[in-house]
Amino acid sequence: MGKKNKEFDKEMMVTRSFNVPDFRATQIPDQGQGRLEGHAAVFDSMTSIGGYYNEIIQRGAFDQCNFDDVLFFINHDCEEIPLARSRRNNSNSTMQLLVDNIGLSVRADIDTENNSDAKGLYSAVDRGDVSGMSFCFRVKEDKWDGLDTEVPTRTIISIAKVYEVSAVNNPAYDLTDINARDKSALDNAKLALDNVRSQLLDNDKELDINKLRNDQEVLRAFRARINEKKNKREEGVNKYE
């Protein structure tokens, strides 16, 4: 049985990155803009999170997700001006987000004519020098299986909000692995596992205490029945004396 967890991690932002083969750059004719397209998240892909646990983003995890204001950066550098932005995912936004059969699809139109960073990124993606996408999000609901094993599995059932999407030089995992290049992600991963195991331990202790109380109640009831039968026998003996 899996252990669902709705409380932990609600306020913690999580970053996951994928090196996916469909990240591509195309030119928009007569607009001085380049278009970047790819998937920032992939469904049902088993990912090793630093060896601490495996993780899967379940299909449907974005169904109740808040996409009201999502920014597009390079390497999650939020101090820089965003290269594109999605406001409520409307058609006038410079970035469009779509949940499809693969995962979270991103289409960002960047100003390659007037923005040197955009021009450099477009060239890097077009040449294949940058091949990863990453997204920053907050988990709403997850489920853990095998917490008593060395490497449990976390299934992300629901994502509350996506904050930003980035093109990244060094994807944290290549569809199947997250490594030490993203230390903060690993630290958060270990914290997530430690917390849920701590919760499980507390729950087990509570179950043990409740079981002990139930056993004591059963024992008291059993003793009461024995005493009741004993008293009836004694009353019967006294009646015939």
pLDDT in tens, the chain (241 residues): 565 554 434 457 888 887 777 889 998 877 779 999 999 999 998 888 888 899 999 999 999 999 999 999 999 899 999 999 999 988 899 999 999 999 999 999 999 999 999 999 999 999 989 988 889 999 999 999 998 899 999 999 999 999 999 998 876 555 433 333 455 666 777 777 788 878 776 665 555 555 555 656 655 665 666 666 666 666 655 555 5
Please state the three-class secondary structure of the chain as a single string: CCEEECCCCCCCEEEEEEECCCCEEEEECCCCEEEEEEEEEECCCCEEECCCEEEEECCCCCCCCECCEEEEEECCCCCCCCCEEEECCCCCCCEEEEECCCEEEEEEEECCCCCHHHHHHHHHHHHCCCCEEEEEEEEEEEEEECCCCCCCEEEEEEEEEEEEEEEECCCCECCCEECCCCHHHHHHHHHHHHHHHHHHHHHHHHHHHHHHHHHHHHHHHHHHHHHHHHHHHHHHHHHHC
Q: What is the pTM of this model?
A: 0.73
Residue ranges covered by each domain of the chain = 3-196
